[in-house]
Amino acid sequence: MIESNPSLASLIDSASVAVAELSGQTARWQAAAPGRVNLIGEHTDYNLGWVLPMAIDRYTAIAAAPGVPGQIRVRSLAMAEERSLSLDQLHTPHCDVWMRYVQGVIAQYDRRGVCCLGLDVAVASSIPPGGGLSSSAALELATAHLLEAVTGQTLTPTERIQVCVQAEREMAGVPCGIMDQTVVELAESGQALLLDCADQTARPVPFDSQAPALLVIQSGVSHALAEGAYAQRRADCEQASAELGVKSLRDVSLDQLAGLKAAPLLHQRATHVVSENQRVCDAVAAIDQGQWDRMGALMTRSHESLRDDYEVSCPELDLLVELATAERGVYGARMTGGGFGGCVIVLVETDQLEAVAHSISDQYEDRIGWAPGCYRVQAGAGAREICTAL
């Protein structure tokens, strides 16, 4: 019932073979970047709060060979599509949304004087698109590392993160925070990452073989964050901050939320952000102390807040959380990612993993009519160039 996970080596091989078919040349450059799950801390990043994401052992791999001067051709194996981008139209958004993530990174590097030559590119991925596992940030960071391999010009990790955040905001039109790109770039194997989004400092939090298993379950509802709801939540938070006279909701205590009682919607949004920040801090303490019951309860409360106060869940996500938390061996569950679809993440005793995945899948299929994808994920390393054949 738990789906197999293609190795990074096999993804690199697939992308390299596709490049050879596309260009008639052997792939010269390769790079890869992981997806991510957010253990807790949702919609706090653009409010300058705290988040606790983790890179996962599912990847986007990208390979390239020299192409026609002035043109980028990209073949996506996951999308079964091939698209072209003229470099003289580099700063005009491509008509295909998925291409804008590649284009946006190339455009940001171009603004920094790192100019891309004509390339034939192939992308292979084991990260489900639109599933809340940050396939977009993985594609951005893989593209960034590929460009640096191609040009021989290297940015710092901080600059690379900034490039990819700006690419998503300006070219893809998603007003994202910094969480996804930061963890995809900086992650270490066997570690989650506690990120302070105010000063962008990060520290690893061990989440290795001593921890319970993490099960990701797809709802089958693909989110579309650029369609307005995500942007509206961000605008609500900015308005709430203005009403309270603070720079961001990070600076607000639960007691201060009384100042929003005359604006019930803003009160709801702020309540989620303020309480979620506290849950992140509590979660780190729970992990450090091996208190998995406490960690699971925090995850479930996070989902309830996202459902009721922030209103970014959906019936399918709520059902998955309900089914998961009723299972023996489950500590807690929550939606992960921006919401409106995507995945839930379940913290479960390792020896109960298969049974829990089977039970939830069967019940969900009975209720919804579709068997959800189930994946075990583990803490993986961050984005990098692949310098030699694997």
Q: Please pick, among 13, 45, 120, 180, the residue that the annotation labels catalytic.
A: 180
Measured distance CA(194)–CA(315) in Å, rounded: 29
373, 320 contact by CB (below 8 A): no
* Residue (of 301, 299, 335, 336) closest to 318 by Cα position: 335
- How many CB atoms sit inside 10 A of residue 100's CB? 23
302 Cβ contact list (under 8 Å, min separation 6): 40, 42, 276, 279, 334
Question: Could you give the C-alpha distances from 205 to 188, 195, 239, in angstroms and in order?
Answer: 10, 10, 33
User: Which of helix, strand or coil describes residue 252?
Assistant: coil
Burial class (CB in 10 A: 0-12, 13-18, 19+), 96: middle
* Residue (of 129, 118, 105) closest to 35 by Cα position: 129
* HEC string for 271-305: HHHHHHHHHHHHHHHHHHCCCHHHHHHHHHHHHHH
β-bridge partners, 385: 31
Query: Catalytic site residue 180?
Result: yes
List the catalytic residues. 180
